[in-house]
Chains A and B, each alone.
Chain A
Amino acid sequence: MKAKNLVTAGLAFLMTYSSVVKAQDLNPLSAQVATLLDETNKQGMAKVKYAAAEANLSSLVAAGRMDEARKQMSDLITKIASDLVTGQVKADDLKNRSIVTTKKLSKAQIEKISQYISGALTAEQLVDVLKPTNMHYQNLVSALTRYMDVIRSGQQMKAPTSLATIKAGVKDKASIAYARYRLNLLGYQNDAANPELSDDLTEAIKAFQANQGLTADGILGSGSWKILNQDFMGQMTQLRLNIDRTRWLPNDLGATHVFVNLAQQRLRLYVNSELSLDFKTVNGRLDRQTPILFDNLNYLILNPTWTVPQNILLADKIPKFIANPQYVLDLHMKVIDDVTDKEVDPFSVDWTKVTEDHVPYTLVQQPGKFNALGFIKFPLTNPYSIYLHDTNERNLFKENNRLRSSGCVRLEKPFEFAEKLLQAANITTWTADSLRDASENLDPSAETSSRVRLGRSIPVYLFYLTTFVNEKGQVILSNDSYDIDSTSYSVLSQK
């Protein structure tokens, strides 16, 4: 989300939060709605979405149209409670950037909502049984609670007019206090009462820098301050938008699962509910964004082939093939005639006749170190050709912004990832080293791909969180590269 929008968004949400009318001052029907909204607000839900319906309810009560008012109350409570389960913003709102099916409420959940409407449950009890329980949701709500507690207790701290670099010898106590406050808010624990620079603050700064992909030198300079000192209310809004998105995730992610955070451009593998691997990824470029989707991994392919996408073929390859068909062979590609399905000699093809409307050949790159998919492919089951794979462009992992693929997810540590997956499936015949040996020492004349079945289905979540909370409770902030936060905010703001 752009900085200006974040501030505006933050203000809007905060105003909604602080200007709420006390439930006891309302008529009983409106009070029942307001009480539920207070509880769901603690779970990160934005009240603004229901303002028009609330006003309508008050009007009906004021006009004495009680039957209509009761129906309005019942519908509104059902809507708020459903949104708590399924998200205020739905996956469909992001169009094809998200390929996730919206959850449906169970009969038991619908029954609980009815019980609240009839007064048999309190709002707190209803929220307790309906709120999502996946770890990302819980972690983000805990982070939001820290921000809300600061507001409630009036302990919000303003940034000093000038922020000093925090390093050995620093005298600026206001900057030290402010650094401690902002780091604690993000979960980088340190002694907020200590006015001096001490080891706990240096360690908190280092952890923050490492998580943000900065040099972890423990010196809080302008680069680190720029991220740490982002707008307080904007960060709250960002947390709320991300909490809402985690409502799309299943409550049980699976003890062993793969979680790719597209915003952070990192993959996390959890085995038996413990973090097993965490490494960088390369994701879809802006015009071919990797979508949010939930899928399964059943097998991996060693030494895969790669079919050159038509766009790349026409733009990058054909002009070079026209100049010299030997280039096809230099790239270790085979030319397949799409009509006969047979391999043809690249020198026998008139490449000048290949145009956008006439591409009767498919180029398939053979296995090997030059292959665009690298040595291992991790296929998924979706129909959009989105999968995980190694790469022959490993230098891209040195870059901070790694939105470079056609939508697939390229992996920094494919062999270690394969080893852990196979171990999780009780397949111990392969290690990262033996996989690497088998791949790198592939006989070029053999040109064979091979499948290794996992014998189980491992859930894969391609997800998007610009505020991610790690297992230490530390918030990691990412840019909204795919503009998904800003789209979500626009959806929430629609009356």
Chain B
Amino acid sequence: MKSFLLALALLFSFVAHATETDGYVKNIVPDDEGIKIVLSKISPESEAFETKHTEVKTIYLSNTQPDFEQTKQLLLDSKISKTRLLISKDQLKKLTVKQLGQ
């Protein structure tokens, strides 16, 4: 029972540490260790998209992540097609990207 509760606590702790963010890709900035994804909550169709700062969130994708190349391509495609994304980050900072539609 004790170990079951411990496992349950660990599971909740893992879930609690996994974070999700949704938005549109406003910018992708590469550096030597990966890319920074600049996400905007506002649709690129909105006039505020170009100027509004308050809704911006950044997420970092390390180039040591095994599927880095595919994930980067998905982000680039989503930026061009202006598709809204859901990005999850686990405890180990591994990102999972899902397209939510325009």
Contact = CB atoms under 8 A, between A and B. Distances in A.
Nearest to B52: A339
B31 A308 contact: yes
Contacts of B51: 339-340
Contacts of A360: 38, 53, 56, 58
Contacts of A487: none
Nearest to A97: B64
Interface string A357-398: 111101000000000000000000001110000000000000
B69 interface: yes
A340 B53 CA distance: 9
Interface string B54-77: 001111100110101100100000
Interface stretch (B2-10, B22-30, B78-86): B22-30
B63 A385 contact: yes
B44 interface: no
Contacts of A311: 33
Interface residues of A, number: 24
Contact of A358 (B30, B58, B66, B72): B58
Contacts of A384: 63, 68
B63 A362 contact: no
B32 A406 contact: yes
B66 A288 contact: no
A307 B27 contact: no
Interface in A306-360: 307-311, 338-341, 356-360
A95 interface: yes
Contacts of B68: 383-384
Contacts of A288: 33, 64
Given A338-B38, A360-B38, A407 B27 contact: no
B36 interface: yes
A357 B60 CA distance: 8
Contacts of B57: 357-358
A20 B31 CA distance: 53
B32 A359 contact: no
A85 interface: no
A339 B58 contact: no
A96 interface: yes
Contact of B58 (A340, A357, A407): A357
B11 to A, nearest CB: 24
Interface in A386-425: 406-408
A309 B66 contact: no
B30 A339 contact: no
Contacts of A359: 36, 58, 60
B26 A339 contact: yes
Given A288-B64, A357-B59, A358-B57, A310 B26 contact: no
Contacts of A307: 29-32
Nearest to A311: B33
A310 B56 contact: no
Contacts of B59: 357
Given A359-B58, A383-B68, A383-B72, A339 B32 contact: no
Contacts of A408: 32
Given A96-B66, A288-B64, A383-B63, A338 B33 contact: no
Nearest to B64: A96
Contacts of A407: 32-33, 63
A310 B38 contact: no
Contacts of A362: 29, 31, 36
B64 A383 contact: no
Contacts of B58: 338, 357-360
B63 A338 contact: no
A431 to B, nearest CB: 29
B47 to A, nearest CB: 14
A357 B63 CA distance: 18
A59 B55 CA distance: 69
Contact of A310 (B34, B50, B64, B69): B34
Contacts of A358: 56-58
Contacts of B36: 310, 338, 359, 362
Given A360-B58, A383-B72, A338 B64 contact: no
Contacts of A356: 60
Contact of B33 (A340, A357, A383, A406): A406
A407 B53 CA distance: 33
A338 B32 contact: no
Contacts of B40: 339
Contacts of A406: 32-33
A311 B32 CA distance: 10
Top 3 closest pairs, chain A to chain B, by CB: A309-B33, A309-B31, A307-B31
Given A307-B30, A360-B58, 13 more contacts: A307-B32, A309-B31, A310-B36, A311-B33, A338-B29, A338-B58, A339-B27, A341-B27, A357-B57, A358-B58, A359-B60, A384-B68, A385-B33
20 contacts: A288-B33, A309-B31, A309-B33, A310-B36, A310-B60, A338-B56, A339-B53, A340-B50, A340-B51, A341-B27, A356-B60, A358-B58, A359-B60, A360-B38, A360-B56, A383-B68, A383-B72, A385-B34, A406-B32, A407-B63
Interface of A: 95-96, 288, 307-311, 338-341, 356-360, 362, 383-385, 406-408
